[in-house]
Amino acid sequence: MVLILGGLGAGKKRYLRSLGFTDAQLSNDPDADAPVLVDLEAAVRTDPASSETLFGKCLKKAFVVCREVGSGVIPMDPNERAWREATGRLCCALAKEATAVVRVVSGIPVVLKGEPPCISD
């Protein structure tokens, strides 16, 4: 599994397309048969306590994409803080198990761990 991180609008999906993935291969449903799970943070938002279940589902995917949610002002709402905390802890656990971790910044993939994924022909 390859973990891709980046801010909102940073170019994560464009990067996936450069690797040869089509929109049909991307899904925001952790239970879908698609090889790429996008918007992991949204799945955590629906139930922050489900992080352990999501972890197992993510490990079965080829790529997992998550928006960075931990920067900026700490929310006053306890539910927002719990969501950000659960998302961050899940990403840390996934990064530990991932074969590669790529952070996309301004459309540029920066490899943090492992070898960059191969671009398909």
Domain that holds residue 66: 2-113
Please give the pLDDT value at position 36: 97
CA distance 77 to 59: 30
> Is 121 inside a domain boundary?
no
* Rounded average pLDDT per 10-residue block, the chain, 121 residues: 96 95 95 96 86 92 94 85 92 97 96 83 46
Question: For position 94, which CATH number holds?
Answer: 3.40.50.300
> Is 13 inside a domain boundary?
yes
Please give the pLDDT value at position 106: 95
Closest listed residue to residue 51, CA positions, set 87, 81, 78: 87
**Domain count along the chain:** 1
> Is 118 inside a domain boundary?
no
> Is 120 inside a domain boundary?
no
Amino acid identity for residue 70 in this structure: G
